[in-house]
């Protein structure tokens, strides 16, 4: 599954994930429950950001020496 996701450009994956905002906005407009619509929209944004971070390239730099004494 991860290899299949690795072939998808991160911008495309985030754009598809953020398309879920459309139903949340419709939910907020058609129902007077604005609190639930706001929470749902924030969740969709968090999922989109998580997908972006998961698929974005990461540096191969040194992240600190493990076991090094100061």
In the predicted structure, residue 1 carries a pLDDT above the cut 80: no
HSE toward the beta carbon, residue 11, CA cutoff 13 A: 0
- Residue 6, C-beta contacts closer than 8 angstroms, at least 6 positions apart: 55
Tell me the DSSP string of the chain.
-HHHHHTS-HHHHHHHHHTTHHHHHHHHHHSS-HHHHHHHHHHHHHHHHHHHHHHS---------TT---
In the predicted structure, residue 68 carries a pLDDT above the cut 70: no
pLDDT digits (tens, 9 = 90+) for 20-66: 888 888 888 888 788 888 888 899 889 888 888 887 777 766 556 66
């Amino acid at each position: 599954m991860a290899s299949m996701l690795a072939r998808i450009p991160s911008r495309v994956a985030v754009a598809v994930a953020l398309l879920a905002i459309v139903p949340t906005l419709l939910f907020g407009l058609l129902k007077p429950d604005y609190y639930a619509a706001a929470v749902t929209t924030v969740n969709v944004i968090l999922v989109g950001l998580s997908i972006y971070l998961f698929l974005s390239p990461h540096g191969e730099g040194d992240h600190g020496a493990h076991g090094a004494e100061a």
